[in-house]
Homo-oligomer: A and B are copies of this chain.
Amino acid sequence: MRPSGRKPDELRPVSFTRGFTRHAEGSCLVRFGDTHVLCTASLEERVPPWLKGGGKGWVTAEYGMLPRATHERTRREAASGKQSGRTQEIQRLVGRSLRAVVDLVALGERQITLDCDVLQADGGTRTAAITGSWVALFDCLKWMEQRSMFKTWPLKDHVAAISCGIHGGTPVLDLDYPEDSSAGTDANFVMTGSGGIVEIQGTAEGEPFSEATLGELLALAKKGIGELVAKQKEAIA
A199 pairs with B203, CB closer than 8 A = yes
- This protein's copies in its complex: 6
- Chain B residue, CB-CB nearest to A208: B196
CA distance A64 to B117 in the complex (A): 12
The minimal Cβ–Cβ distance linking A101 to chain B, given in whole angstroms, is 8
Given contacts A62-B76, A78-B83, contact A21 B119 (CB under 8 A): yes
The minimal Cβ–Cβ distance linking A218 to chain B, given in whole angstroms, is 6
Number of interface residues of A (CB under 8 A): 64
CA distance A23 to B201 in the complex (A): 28
Give A64-76 as 1s and 0s: 1 = Cβ < 8 Å from B's Cβ atoms: 1011111101001
Given contacts A73-B44, A85-B92, contact A199 B204 (CB under 8 A): yes
Q: Which of B36, B187, B191 sits near A208, CB closer than 8 Å?
A: B191
A199 pairs with B197, CB closer than 8 A = no
B38 pairs with A66, CB closer than 8 A = yes
